[in-house]
Structure 1
Amino acid sequence: MPLATTRRSGLVDQVIEQMRSAISTSEWKVGERIPTEPELVNALGVGRNTVREAVRALSHAGLLEVRQGDGTFVRATSEFSGAVRRLAGTELRDVLQVRRTLEVEGARLAAAHRTEEELAELTGLLDARDRSMTAKDYDLGVDQDAQFHLAVVRCSHNPLLAELYQGLTEVVRASVASTVSTKPNLATLDHQGLLEAIRAQDTERAAAEAGGFLDELLADLDD
């Protein structure tokens, strides 16, 4: 990373907090393999058992996933996200339904409360997302799509709603990636109507736009 050398008291807790920080700041990104056990031992200046206990604790919390013979990977950025991922599993429909619940109200409130600076941010995120999807750079486009939806909810100026949605970041991204990988034509779903509704501060239209494309994704699952 490099990680700071730990003090000699409370070693496991210290290692857990340093590893948690590397995850929450995206130094270790979701889906990536973390440094090997010998690398962590050398970086932290602690024993193997201390590293193993820390990894075990973070795995139990849902932040890490140990894959035998392959290494340890970042699974989520927080305990809440890890719990959501375990509950959501691979049921795309469940994720889309929860997204719809939060995103519709988020869009409604965003239209009412967004600032000009936030509107400019939304415009930039959506333009970047559309360029990536058009260029079939789906990995980047998926990230930008998830960032756009999170930014919309943040524009609601409802801290609790934003925090709840933030906890869904990994499953939102996974749902977008799953949709794009199975049906690439859905990568071009137009969000301009949502942006324009927020720009016009049309709360009902913003809610309808946010629910509309998710309804389209849900309906597509039945095809």
Structure 2
Amino acid sequence: MSLGALRPSPLVEQATDRLREQITGGEWSVGTKLPGETALAKSLGVGRSTVREALRALAGAGLVQARQGSGVFVIATRPRDDWSTQLRQAVITDVYEVRMLVEVAAAQLAAQRRTDDDIAALHGALTRRRDAADAGNAEFVAADIALHEHVVAAAHNPVLTGLFTEFVPVLRQRLLDLVELLSLRFDDPNHGDEGHAVLVRAIVAGDAEAAGQALRDELTRTLALLHSV
């Protein structure tokens, strides 16, 4: 089977896409052993190292599996859902449990690593959250999430920041639904202000234990509300 030579760059991405198309398009069914690296490299017009990286990517997507001494076999014709898709489809309480693990660690690191710029950003975010108490639910939720984003950013860990960024779209919609469903701001337009103030004070003071506990307490309360609906 000739797959057609590829353009020079980016070769790994192109090779991965071409092989994925063959699998998802039904050219290679589940259980099929793929041609060897040398044959695939010749068909695609690339080196064996490029084919190896492409197969690694397909394995990560759950489409193929390498079997020691036997070769590479197709194990699925549809890729596994990526992280963003899994989050969108997940039960919000499950998302919150993972969020708690991520953010509590981030708050503790933020208390240890915050800079003067981080402190200014946190104070500004807390002020904007308070100002948003006079606004609608969407604006208030956005200001709330923005404060949490600054907490995570103050941890200065790009992996934590990336994880939280993935959570944000799901959190924004689910929190808005929660606020409106339970009328959380009916009696208190600035719902949760004291807890957020405690969090910011702990980070500014460099108290990692207090920062982690403040965030844990806040998210535990929200998780309890989510379980109640």
Question: What interval of TM-score do these two structures reach, taking the shorter chain for normalisation?
Answer: 0.5 to 0.7
Distance in 1, matches of 2:86 and 2:227, equals: 27
1:156 aligns with 2:161: no
Q: Where do 1:73-84 residues align within 5 Å?
A: 80-84=83-87
The corresponding residue for 1:167 is 166
Deviation at 1:148, TM superposition (A): 1.2
2:218 alignment partner in structure 1: 213
- Deviation at residue 150 of structure 1 after TM alignment: 1.4
Q: Does the 8 A contact of 2:114 with 2:154 survive in 1? A: yes
Deviation at 1:161, TM superposition (A): 1.1
Give the letter for the 1:96 counterpart. Y
Q: 2:164 is aligned with what amino acid?
A: Y
**Aligned with 2:184: secondary structure?**
helix
CA distance in 2, matches of 1:92, 1:167: 14
Corresponding residue for residue 106 of structure 2: 106
Preserved CA contact (<8 Å) 2:122 2:151:
yes
1: CA distance, partners of 2:204 / 2:88: 33
1:140 aligned residue? 139
Structure 1 unaligned blocks of 5 or more: 1-9, 11-78
What is the identity, as a one-letter code, of the residue corresponding to 2:217?
Answer: G
Q: Which amino acid aligns with 2:136?
A: D
Which amino acid in the other structure matches residue 226 of structure 2? L
Distance 1:203 1:106 in 2: 10
The aligned residue for residue 94 of structure 2 is: 94
Q: Report the AA paired with residue 214 of structure 2.
A: E
Deviations 1:84-103, CA, capped at 9 Å, x for gaps: 213x2xx2211211211111
Residue 222 to residue 80, structure 1, CA distance change in 2 (3 Å): closer
CA distance in 1, matches of 2:221, 2:86: 27
Q: CA deviation at 1:136?
A: 4.4
Cα RMSD between the aligned structures?
1.9
Q: Which letter does structure 2 place at the counterpart of 1:208?
A: Q
In structure 2, the residue matched to 1:115 is: 115
User: Structure 2-normalised TM-score?
Assistant: 0.57
Please, which runs of 5 or more residues in structure 2 have no aligned partner?
A: 1-6, 8-81
SS at match of 2:160: helix
Q: Secondary structure at the match of 1:188?
A: coil
- One-letter code of the match for 1:93? T
Equivalent of residue 192 in structure 1, options 186, 189, 197:
197
Report which of the two structures shows the higher radius of gyration computed on alpha carbons: 2
Contact 2:178–2:226 (8 Å) recurs in 1: no
1:101, 1:175 → 2: CA distance? 18
Equivalent-residue separation in structure 2 for 1:105 and 1:157 (angstroms):
12
Deviations 1:39-93 (A, max 9, x none): xxxxxxxxxxxxxxxxxxxxxxxxxxxxxxxxxxxxxxxx64344213x2xx221
Q: CA deviation at 1:120?
A: 0.8
CA separation of 1:172 and 1:221: change in aligned 2, threshold 3 A: closer
Aligned length: 142
Contact 1:142 / 1:177 at 8 angstroms: preserved in 2? yes
**1:180 counterpart = 2:179:** yes
- The answer to whether the 8 Å contact 1:193/1:209 transfers is yes
CA distance in 1, matches of 2:174, 2:98: 11
Quote the offset at 1:222 in angstroms: 4.2
CA gap of 1:184–1:131, structure 2 versus 1, over 3 A, is farther
Q: Which residue of 2 aligns with 1:44?
A: none
